Amino acid sequence: MLYYAIVFFVIAIIAAVFGFGGIAAGAASIAKILFVIFVILFLASLLFGLTRR
């Protein structure tokens, strides 16, 4: 999932360079959402891993 967040981030950067505001904003928002989901899943797996010990 982090891979997809990075891909959408790169798409947003490329679109911003070329001046496509709507595409850049859309890709950036998708990247932000995926990044937040990744962080939540990472923290959940970290907590569950610590409690299993």
pLDDT attached to residue 1: 64
pLDDT attached to residue 21: 65
pLDDT attached to residue 51: 84
Convert the pLDDT of each residue in 1-53 to its tens digit: 678 777 878 887 787 777 766 776 777 788 888 888 888 988 888 888 888 86
* Residues composing the chain: 53
Q: How far apart are CA 36 and CA 8, in angstroms?
A: 13
pTM of the full structure: 0.58
Q: How far apart are CA 29 and CA 49, in angstroms?
A: 30
